[in-house]
Structure 1
Amino acid sequence: MEVKVKYELEFPINSSPQLLYQYISTPSGLSEWFADNVNSRGEYFTFIWDDSEEKARVASKKTGEKIKFRWIDINNEDTDYFFELRILEDEITKDVSLMIIDYAPESELDEAALLWENQISDLKHVIGSV
């Protein structure tokens, strides 16, 4: 199996950090742009796309700033991989952007970045930040 590498992407988003946080940290918010459906039970989230289902645990979060999901394997154990959604706000311009920290096999980095671009495009559409 190919080793996954960590990468970061940053997307400017015309939104308040508070509103944006609702879309990155709640099952209802995430299901509007990230996955077809998202369920949660406590700190455990289930992400559903078409016929596939992935489970993750909220590893850390800071209200209004960031949330980090650690992927869980079929034995319900944490894996080494996570994705983090971090809201950045420029202190002077008040410009808001969303930093994505994720992992992908090195041979699929371009594909992974493209997938995030499409998802962020959906997110912007949902919050009216087009």
Structure 2
Amino acid sequence: MPLSATRSKHRFTVEYPINASPKILYPYLASASGLTRWFCQDVKIDPDHRLNFIWDNQSHYAEISSHRTNKSVRFVFLSDQKRAVPDASYLDFCIESSELTQEVFLRIVDYSEETDEIELQEMWDNLIQTLREQVGG
């Protein structure tokens, strides 16, 4: 497919207050076992340290492109052949704390081909509700 025919990406950013410390929250965002508890059906890690996110019995491969313990993690999605692609979809989870109020927020950046803001908001609202139930926040 020529580059001009590729679908354009959309950056969706949303932030949620979470009643849990960054140390409790981070493993739910950055580990296969944590992500499986709220984010997708399953996450498997292959020998090359790529992650296989499984939704609706479909595999979606990703690599962690950056992470800061108890702060943030970015998953960059790969092609079906598990290769990097230009302008790849990615998912950022960033934990932010307010020094003043001691509140913890989770900022999510979902960069993908999905452009329906209402659908994305509803999907993330539901996922975060499940995450809050898992972390007790």
Q: What TM-score does the superposition give when structure 1 sets the normalisation length? A: 0.92
Following TM superposition, by how much is the alpha carbon of 1:57 offset from its aligned partner in structure 2, in angstroms?
0.3
Across the two proteins, how many residue pairs are aligned to each other? Answer: 129
Root-mean-square deviation (CA, aligned residues, Å) is 1.5
Does residue 111 of structure 1 match 2:119? yes
Equivalence for 1:49: 55
Any idea what the Cα deviations from partners look like across 1:74-105, whole Å, max 9, x if unmatched?
12222321100000000111100100001244
Task: Find the structure with the greater CA-based Rg.
Answer: 2
User: Does the 8 Å contact 2:37/2:134 carry over to 1?
Assistant: yes
Partner residue of 1:124 out of 114, 126, 132: 132
Partner residue of 1:20 out of 12, 16, 25: 25
Q: Which amino acid aligns with 1:75?
A: Q
Identity in percent: 30
Q: 1:39 to 1:12 in 2, by over 3 A?
A: same
Q: Which has the higher strand share?
A: 1
Q: What TM-score does the superposition give when structure 2 sets the normalisation length? A: 0.87
Gap regions ≥5 residues in structure 1? none
Gap regions ≥5 residues in structure 2? 1-5
Runs of at least 4 residues off by over 4 Å? none
